[in-house]
Chains A and B, each alone.
Chain A
Amino acid sequence: MDILPQLILNSIIAGAIYTLIALGFNLIYGATKFFNLAHGVLAAVGGYAVFFFAKTLGWDIYLSVALGILLAGLIGLGLDKLIYRPLRKKKASNMILMIASLGVFTALQAIIAILFTSQFQTLSRGAGSQKIYEIAGGVITQTQLLILISGLAIMAGLILLFKYTLFGKAVKAISDDEEVAKIVGINTNKIIGYVFFIGSAIAGWAGILVGFDTGIEPTMGMSLLLKGVIASIIGGVGNIYGGVLGAFLLGFVENFGIWKISGEWKDAIAFAVLILFLLFRPNGILRK
């Protein structure tokens, strides 16, 4: 069997998952300029919301997914209102905001573990009965295809949003200089709130898809977040295209890296790439 097509597909699938995390992360970073570590746990929130609505309560799966995305978005918005905005008001440094988000991450993860136990759960009903598509000599499942398509669609959506809407321009203005944006009459708090809602909803969606593809556990946020952050840094943090580029690059490097050597090196390779970029191109592929 020719291994190459499947390796490429595996890389694309991994890259698409990282894309979904990196997109939301970069969106929020672009507007607020701090590393929102709580972003990872919102993926778990999305996944567990669907688990609760669809599996525990037995609600319709589409409704549950919609509610899961909404809930992740609302929690993101709530976090901004209750924690980050007061901190910004007090002129807290980005370091303090990051520590606060780490606190949020840990607390939410613990709450999920208390409510749902630490057991690994899958969202898909008939495990192993998924539809499989053959593409150019490799195979891809329905969920994985959805991950890929939605990753690209969300990217396109965000680009259009930034280019053609007033909201997008406002975010850009805040990103350039929040004080000046305020002076020209932009309600920065409101706009940042929307950004948190959208970014967190994307993270929730990512968590749901991962739940259908592999499964969910309370600690899933950290590994997703790490890869998402690496992708963002490689690609150019705060840059939509950069995040996507970085995500796919990471996916390819990881999966091709272990082609000829043992798989235990996978994480080592990912972090080695990160360190190389930090050393030689700290602003990422696409400088902002």
Chain B
Amino acid sequence: MTNTTKTILGLIIAILVVWGIYSILQKSSEPMANEPIKIGFIGPLTGDMATYGETEKNTIEIALEEINQSGELKRKLEVIYEDGKCSGKDAVTAAQKLINIDKVHIILGGLCSTETLGVAPLVESNKVILFSSLSSNPSISQAGDYIFRNSPSDSEFGRADAEFIVSQGIKRVAIITENTDYSQGVREIMKNIFQEKNIDIVADEIFNSGTKDFRTYLTKIKSVNPEAIYINPGGSAAVAGLIPKQIGELGIKNVKIFGNFLLGDKEALSVGGQAMEGIIFSDSKDLTQLSGSLIEKYKSKFEKDPAHDALVAARYDSVYIIKDAIKSCGNDDSDCIKNYLYDMPEYSGMIGSYKFDLNGDLLSEEFVIHKKIVDGVPQVIE
């Protein structure tokens, strides 16, 4: 092959490539009137939290099917699912893809706080709406104008838990916290409240994710004789069962055990077994009567239980709220949707009646309730 042929061939290839890219860009830049509106989703579809991600995905499928069948919107909705793996880094990769390649204006997610916080600067600079239904880290409140959530912030849970422990007349508390954004957020808020109320934090242990042997942490806690232990896991529900189990095995008695929502998880209950009896943990408010049928629908459609009932309700609401916003705006323009969400009248959905505050956080009456495990089943405390 002579040099001339090489140059000509090279030129032809270059022209083809440029033409190919141009035509692709052309296509995506003119939305067709009846093409579906694309919405992104970011959540853990693999890894430890995958059952939660799957629950969100299935819930979105239910809501989408209903909305698209009703024909309420002129264009159909379509959701593109990306795996955030409960990690900031992977969530950002997913968001890059959704924003730059799929050109979405709305992203449902993230699920883990690390995902939401990781993606936040990106959606903020690209003016893309981010709507989480589980992330609860307090710093999400300040993460940006385009970021919304219909799940209570940790500050709500942490505050409710600390106040509940105070109301029990307990003066000496031990806290055992997993080293995650979520749990550290809860810990900070609880510590502040305990200090305000003059409650002694006699032990404040932090363990890294993946720890399975808590004996020495608990031995240290045992040696300072707390009246209550607050268990504050952040990632795996198994840990939420292992800690009470090892508390029992170390013969720590006469101590009240409290914890965050993970202690009510089915996996935690099966791992902890009898050791879970009497534990009090915080959870989202029980679902409204409406959502009972939603959960039933979920179970019959997917032939399995959702990882978390409240998550189904919150995620279902979020899709309907987005639908209302798109309907009101006539399209998926993110600034219009943002304004709609901030001005939204009280929305009466599956998790209750609520609207958004100035930070895009859930604004409603008390959302947190406490449950006690009796005979292996969590029961609401009145």
Contact = CB atoms under 8 A, between A and B. Distances in A.
Given A7-B219, A128-B276, A130-B249, 7 more contacts: A1-B223, A119-B267, A134-B251, A255-B215, A262-B205, A263-B205, A266-B207
Interface in A1-49: 1-3, 6-7, 10, 13-14
A10 B212 CA distance: 13
Contact of B271 (A122, A255, A259): A122
Contact of B274 (A3, A126, A215, A254): A126
B381 to A, nearest CB: 22
Nearest to B237: A120
Interface string B214-239: 01110110110100000000001110
A187 interface: no
Main secondary structure of the interface of A (DSSP, over half): loop
Contact of A262 (B206, B219, B250, B273): B206
Contacts of B272: 127-128
Nearest to B225: A1
Interface bin, chain B: 35 or more
Given A1-B223, A217-B238, A132 B216 contact: no
Interface string A235-257: 00000000000000000001100
Contact of B219 (A6, A119, A127, A129): A6
Contact of B207 (A118, A127, A130, A263): A263
Contacts of A255: 215-216
A119 B210 CA distance: 13
Interface string A48-69: 0000000000000000000000
A153 interface: no
B48 interface: yes
B206 A263 contact: yes
A126 B205 contact: no
A14 B211 CA distance: 13
B223 A223 contact: no
23 contacts: A1-B225, A2-B223, A3-B219, A6-B222, A10-B216, A120-B236, A120-B271, A122-B273, A126-B273, A127-B271, A127-B275, A128-B273, A128-B274, A134-B251, A139-B250, A141-B249, A217-B238, A255-B215, A259-B220, A263-B205, A263-B211, A266-B208, A266-B211
Interface residues of A, number: 35
Contacts of A215: 212, 238, 242, 271
A7 B216 contact: yes
Interface string A115-151: 0001110101011111010100001010000000000
A24 B249 CA distance: 28
A93 B205 CA distance: 45
Contacts of B204: 262
A214 B213 contact: yes
A135 B334 CA distance: 66
Given A139-B249, A215-B212, A263 B271 contact: no
Contacts of B215: 6, 10, 13-14, 255
B217 to A, nearest CB: 5
Contacts of A120: 236-238, 267, 271
B47 interface: yes
B50 interface: yes
Given A10-B216, A120-B236, A215-B238, A129 B208 contact: no
